Amino acid sequence: MLLLGIDLGTSSIKVSVIDAHRQKLIVSVNYPETETEIIAPEVGWAEQDPNLWWEHTVRCIQKAHASNLYNPKEIRAIGIAYQMHGLVLVDKLQQVLRNAIIWCDSRAVTIGEGAFDDLGHEECLTTLLNSPGNFTASKLAWVKANEPYIYEKIDKILLPGDFLTMKLTGEVNTTTSALSEGVFWDFSTNTLSNKVMSYFNFSESFIPLINPVFCNHGRLHTDVAALLGLATDVTVTYKAGDQPNNALSLNVLKPGEVAATAGTSGVIYGVSNQLVYDKESRINTFAHVNHDKEMISTGVLLCINGTGIQNSWIKKMVGDKLSYNDINGIAGSAAIGSNGLRMLPFGNGAERVLNNKLINAHIHQIDFNRHGKAEVLRATQEGIAFSFRYGLDIMRENGLNPSIIRAGNANLFLSPIFTSSFVGVTDTPVELYNNDGSVGAALGAGIGADIYHTAGEAFSKMQMIREIEPQHVDLYEELYQDWKGLLIRQLN
């Protein structure tokens, strides 16, 4: 029996197929080979075409099949992980009305700030656990105010994973976790927030059927099953945003457990059994995959927009023909601290950790006589690690004090420069595992299909690759304080 996981990322689609009983990865593929474009019609905007997501998903699944390492007809269930906070609008014919406004788009910041003030800070934080900020509800309000000709055609609003489910099954539904990441969910009543819907004058008919994260979200449409070479009784049994899903993939489900990821954006995600919120909304709290009316399970999320995207940008600037391994090797020839060169990695939209300020990325203290390619590449990764520390300190202020952090052996955690900088500056060990988002989604499908009776059973064979202990902690502290001083001056 096989399970298929889809990870709808910003840069590409990733698909993994696993043997359900052995919990063993059979094949994992990406599509496309080059990073998917982020469309930016205006400064601070970020969009992608949902139909392109679907096209890439189809091609990615077909690419996995082409490995000939398994029989596609043995796939029983599908799980979906997806980039969070994106807004997809469809009409009654399930046709996309405009490009998706994705997670790193900043156009709705002022709308969210206005809602925060009008609804009341205390009211928002105690019920929504967040400011409406730049999340999906505020993005929808922007469409209503600026594109009424599109708004009037809306039948349903979807998160990216809901859209993919719709394309696979023809069913239109969402989850509590998805609505919470869009800041549509009232945690005090465990229902759709009447205050948010009334304030923005949104029709409740826009909201699809609300399902649990783990359940039957729909059976493959006959035509889709034929297109993908799958059995017609395959069901989508799990869907979650990429960060709750990353935590699931690392078996981070209990209070106090913490996961991290460093893809296009970077995240530290801690699980709590409390309705935690930050008074300044610099970190955010959403419903975790196992949250329900009987048991509070929230995910406290620190996000750094400018993570892998900064490393990717630098790669293009210094020579796109270099591999990331080449870059890591060159960066490793520079000393810790990059000989005084500092980089602020905030060039991918407004940062919640900076109170939704848009300060862009900056290179500081560059000396044409002392700094070369190695220092630039190392300072890039150190700056990203330092931004994680800045955010982790905010999480610590709010009572989350991880003694260890779990991460997938992927993206920037493949870089010894970034990983040693991250561990050194946070003074927190990191455990690395081979599981990634698409594998987590596949295992999530197994939970949703009742192949596994508990989440613990789904991850019973997960093994740690290695643990990285902090080194040079005092040196990294000194470097961080220098970096932080530059950030504070930039903010002021």
Domain architecture of the chain: domains with CATH: 2-250 (3.30.420.40), 304-432+467-491 (3.30.420.40)
3-state SS assignment for residue 135: coil
Q: Give the mean model confidence (pLDDT) for residues 458-477.
A: 95
Given pLDDT bands bounded at 50, 70 and 90, which one contains residue 488?
very high
With 80 as the cut, is the pLDDT of residue 99 above it? yes
CA-based R_g, the chain, Å = 22
User: Which residue has tokens 């992608």?
Assistant: 48
CA distances (Å), 263 to each of 178, 268, 326, 409, in order? Answer: 20, 12, 18, 11
- The whole-angstrom separation of Cα 146 and Cα 169 is 32
- The whole-angstrom separation of Cα 20 and Cα 439 is 11
DSSP state of 39: B
- Angle, vertex CA 79, rays to CA 20 and CA 226, nearest 5: 90
- The whole-angstrom separation of Cα 340 and Cα 281 is 32
With 90 as the cut, is the pLDDT of residue 436 above it? no
- The whole-angstrom separation of Cα 62 and Cα 29 is 10
Check: pTM over 0.85? Answer yes or no.
yes
pLDDT at 357: 86
Could you tell me which residues are beta bridge partners of residue 238? 79, 214
**Segment holding 416, helix H or strand E:** helix 416-426
pLDDT at 263: 84
Given pLDDT bands bounded at 50, 70 and 90, which one contains residue 435?
confident
Given pLDDT bands bounded at 50, 70 and 90, which one contains residue 281?
confident
Q: Give the mean model confidence (pLDDT) for residues 455-464.
A: 90
Q: What per-residue string of b and e applies to 120-131 under the rule 16 or more CB within 10 Å gives b?
A: eeeebbebbbbb
Q: Give the mean model confidence (pLDDT) for residues 353-364.
A: 92
Q: Give the mean model confidence (pLDDT) for residues 391-402.
A: 93
With 90 as the cut, is the pLDDT of residue 479 above it? yes
What's the chain's average pLDDT? 96
Count of other CB atoms within 10 angstroms of residue 71: 10
Count of other CB atoms within 10 angstroms of residue 221: 16
Type of residue at 372: G
With 80 as the cut, is the pLDDT of residue 320 above it? no
In this structure, the chain runs to a length of 492
Q: Give the mean model confidence (pLDDT) for residues 400-412.
A: 93
Which has the minimum average pLDDT: 95-99, 235-239, 363-367, 433-437? 433-437
With 90 as the cut, is the pLDDT of residue 431 above it? yes
- The whole-angstrom separation of Cα 28 and Cα 25 is 7
Q: Give the mean model confidence (pLDDT) for residues 56-68.
A: 98
CA distances (Å), 474 to each of 302, 343, 401, 425, 427, in order? Answer: 24, 20, 19, 8, 9
Closest by alpha carbon to 176, among 295, 292, 299? 292
Given pLDDT bands bounded at 50, 70 and 90, which one contains residue 402?
very high
With 90 as the cut, is the pLDDT of residue 1 above it? yes
pLDDT per residue as tens digits for the range 118-165: 999 999 999 999 999 899 999 999 999 999 999 999 999 999 999 999
User: Which residue has tokens 């500081």?
Assistant: 364
Percent of the chain with pLDDT over 90: 91
Q: Give the up-direction half-sphere exposure of residue 308: CA atoms within 13 A in the CB hemisphere.
A: 18
- The whole-angstrom separation of Cα 308 and Cα 324 is 11
3-state SS assignment for residue 16: strand
Q: Which two tokens stand for residue 346?
A: 């905030």
pLDDT at 456: 86
pLDDT at 27: 98
- The whole-angstrom separation of Cα 35 and Cα 46 is 15
With 80 as the cut, is the pLDDT of residue 319 above it? no
3-state SS assignment for residue 28: strand
Q: Give the mean model confidence (pLDDT) for residues 432-452.
A: 95
